[in-house]
Amino acid sequence: MFAEAEDALGALTGLVNNAGIAGRLGRFDALEPAELRAVFNTNIIGAMLCAQQAVRRMSSKYGGSGGSIVNVSSRAAELGGANEWVHYAASKGALETFTRGLAREVAGEGIRVNAVAPGLIATDMHERAGAPDRLAKLGPSLPIGRVGTAQEVAEAVAWLMSPAASYVTGTILHVSGGR
């Protein structure tokens, strides 16, 4: 995938690890091992493997000219996801730890590594998990009074990828309306 992208677009300068799944909504003790594996394989192992390929291409240690990696986490990483998505929250917590560690490891090689941690965002994730009314119920209780949009998250990612964030690395940026 990375070789094909480089052939088509040129040298890699950035990676956004945005693939993720929440899995089934519910208590952790009702979770099947296969569901747990699927969430961790997608949310943390997949992100780590993609970041590894990106570092090999962007690091000055390997002849690259640097770049930026942004991982998409979740406020659930800090909030814990009790009675809903403990497994998802744990996978995103691992992603945030990975973000901080990798940032320190490759900062001197010209690579910045950060994450955004969206809160309640208007996507179909909640509906797919069996809670179509979750956003309508929780949105008004947020300090900002509403759920966020995918565009607002994308703007934060774009800023972290840009030269305007050239001195930012190892940071988890909350995009969560104050939650």
Go through the domains of the chain in sequence order and give each one's CATH number.
2-175 (3.40.50.720)
The pLDDT assigned to 162 comes to 98
Angstrom distances, CA of residue 90 to CA of 31, 44, 64? 13, 10, 33
Name the token pair of 146. 């509403």
Task: Reply yes or no on whether 88 is catalytic.
Answer: yes
The pLDDT assigned to 24 comes to 86
The pLDDT assigned to 123 comes to 92
CA distance 83 to 134: 13
The pLDDT assigned to 114 comes to 99
| Contact between residue 134 and residue 112 where contact means Cβ atoms under 8 Å apart | no
User: pTM value?
Assistant: 0.95
The pLDDT assigned to 125 comes to 85
CA distance 108 to 55: 12
CA distance 129 to 29: 17
Catalytic residue among 88, 92, 112, 175: 88
Mean pLDDT per block of 10 residues along the chain (179 residues) reads 93 96 92 96 98 98 98 96 93 98 98 97 86 89 94 98 98 95
